Amino acid sequence: MKLLAEYIKNKLKRVHLGHIGIPGETPAVNMTRILLNPKNILIIPFNRMGTILLATRVFKAFREHYTSARITVAVYEPWSVLISKDPAIDTVIAFNDDIENPNSKAFHTIGKSLASQKFDLAFFLSYQFDPVMALMTRLSEAALRVSFKSDSEIQYFNVELIPAVEKRYEVDRYLEMLCTLGIKGEMRDYTLKISDSIRQKAKLRYLTGFPQNNRRIIGFDLTKEIAGEPLNKKSTEQIISTIINDFNATVIVFFEPQKKSMVVELKETFGKKIILVEDRPVSMAAGLMSFCRFVVTHNTDLFQLAVALKTPNIGILTPDEMIQWSPGESETLVHLDRSGSAWTTKSTLAEATRKLMSRH
């Protein structure tokens, strides 16, 4: 009976793979030869703005180790602006919303386009497994495809590295992957700069007539979580109310499109005391963040964007999130420990603010 169940499972798996058009088995390759002298390298980060920002911290390691190789990074188009001028890479391939549907013809067209470029080495650069991006890496048909070990039964990669068990900063994971393959490198800083034209455009669109009654501007993060629990409406209202009343502030609420219904309700509650700003285009969000006295974030893309912009930032994080997703406290970053079920209290937020302002 067990053998029959296993046969049916494998049969269904083959049918599914045939439906999505995954290539067959990878031919045997000389791993050492490719790693010693790759001519054409593809990097595919986890498909989130924040994780792309984290990935940029090791791009220089690739460039310094493979000085003559062509290095291409494939990312979702809205985030491509983050790396378009990175001196460590040669080409950015931007894909659109078709990436959300791996069964679509358009998705496989992207894969064929990657395959046509004949990459000899590809990296799925993420500790978080994503079957969609893993499939994209497989469709690239790069001769050597590297990733961390996953529980997937589908062989997307022909080199899978077993990561250390202990908690690590995400970028340290990437460096460990490279070091295991003999690619030495260090973590670089990742600092984004905002042009005056972008700041002016953001100001004209959202802040015309501001300040009102000398109210300061403070940012609040309602964007999508990279991992972990989302903010509920009650906690969101509590934090925004504290910022408005205790700091005499107008709050810019940065939100993702999927949370539009919540922000509409917030607007009904707080009226002109909040300004609603969608998290894309990222240049507009970044421009507005530059006007914020500080931002209150959690484990999201906006947290990583604030770190990259060196925007004063109070990150509400669990102890594990502090290790995995934060580069550590700094002059512009203060951690607010969210160990319990509640997100924060008025007193802890005020204390974190005083701590941040004393540093900045």
For residue 160, pLDDT over 70 is answered with yes
The pLDDT of residue 6 is above 50: no
| Full 3-state SS string of the chain | CHHHHHHHHHHHHHHHHHHHCCCCCCCCCCHHHHHHCCCEEEEEECCCHHHHHHHHHHHHHHHHHCCCCEEEEEEEHHHHHHCCCCCCCCEEEEECHHHHCCCCHHHHHHHHHHHCCCCCEEEEECCCCCHHHHHHHHHCCCCEEEEECCCCCCCCCCEEECCCCCCCCHHHHHHHHHHHCCCCCCCCCCCCCCCHHHHHHHHHHHCCCCCCCCCEEEEEEECCECCCCCCCHHHHHHHHHHHHHHHCEEEEEEECHHHHHHHHHHHHHHHHHEEEEECCCHHHHHHHHCCCCCEEECCEHHHHHHHHHCCCEEEEECHHHHHHHCCCCECCEEEEECCCCCCCCHHHHHHHHHHHHHHC
Whole-number pLDDT of residue 212? 60
What pLDDT, on a 0 to 100 scale, did the predictor assign at position 343?
A: 82
pLDDT the model gives residue 246: 87
Per CATH, the homologous superfamily of domain 196-359 is: Glycogen Phosphorylase B; (3.40.50.2000)
196-359 shares the fold of 20-180? yes
56-98 pLDDT per residue, tens: 999 999 999 999 999 999 999 999 999 999 999 999 999 988 8
Domain boundaries, the chain: 20-180, 196-359
Q: Say if residue 2's pLDDT is above 60.
A: no
pLDDT in tens, 244-281: 998 889 999 999 988 999 999 999 999 999 999 999 89
Residue range 144-157: average pLDDT? 92
Q: For the chain, what percent of residues have pLDDT higher than 90?
A: 69
Architecture of domain 20-180: 3-Layer(aba) Sandwich (3.40)
Residue 205 has pLDDT above 80, yes or no: yes
pLDDT at 89: 96
Task: Supply the pLDDT for residue 214.
Answer: 65
What proportion of the chain, given as a percentage, has pLDDT over 70?
Answer: 92
pLDDT reported for residue 269: 96
